[in-house]
């Protein structure tokens, strides 16, 4: 998957703790979360599962979308994930390739 500005949601289990982030390289950033390469919120709560992402053409648009999602109620974020990924599958294999 080519590097594009992307908004994403990580979790530790279905309907568990949620983290909304934005990155210019989704594969690298999700790998950092999965490998606990950097201390912080996702490391502390073991948020290793990518359950939703949305690519954008421009970094500014992605950043604006991330800020908007961070203001959303938790239930709205759950509904967003379940609309696209009802089984809460980890999408790592989809982005990481073979």
Domain holding 70: CATH number?
A: 3.40.1440
Q: What is the pLDDT of residues 27-66, one digit of tens each?
A: 999 999 999 998 999 999 999 999 999 999 999 999 999 9
* In 1-98, alpha helices (H): 26-35, 41-44, 59-71, 74-84, 92-96
Q: What is the DSSP letter of 72?
A: S
Confidence (pTM): 0.95
Task: Decide if 1 is inside a domain.
Answer: no
Task: Decide if 14 is inside a domain.
Answer: yes
Count of domains for the chain: 1
Residue 97 has φ and ψ, to the nearest 5°, of: 80, -170
Instruction: Dig out the tokens for 93 from the structure.
Output: 């294999």
Residue 1 predicted with pLDDT over 80: no
Residue 52 lies in domain? 6-96
The Cα 97–Cα 86 span in angstroms is: 22
Contacts of 59 (CB under 8 A, 6+ apart): 5, 24
Do you know the residue count of the chain? Answer: 98
Residue 3: the pLDDT is 80
Contact status, residue 48 vs residue 96, Cβ threshold 8 Å: no
The Cα 60–Cα 66 span in angstroms is: 10
Task: Decide if 30 is inside a domain.
Answer: yes
Residue 97: the pLDDT is 79
């Amino acid at each position: 998957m080519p590097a594009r500005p992307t908004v994403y949601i990580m979790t530790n289990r279905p309907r568990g703790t949620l983290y909304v982030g934005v990155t210019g390289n989704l594969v690298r950033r999700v790998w950092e979360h999965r490998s606990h390469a950097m201390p912080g919120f996702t490391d502390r709560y073991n948020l290793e599962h990518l359950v939703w992402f949305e690519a954008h053409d421009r970094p500014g648009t992605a950043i604006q979308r991330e800020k908007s999602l961070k203001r959303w109620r938790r239930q709205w974020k759950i509904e967003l994930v379940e609309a696209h990924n009802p089984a809460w599958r980890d999408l790592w294999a989809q982005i990481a390739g073979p």
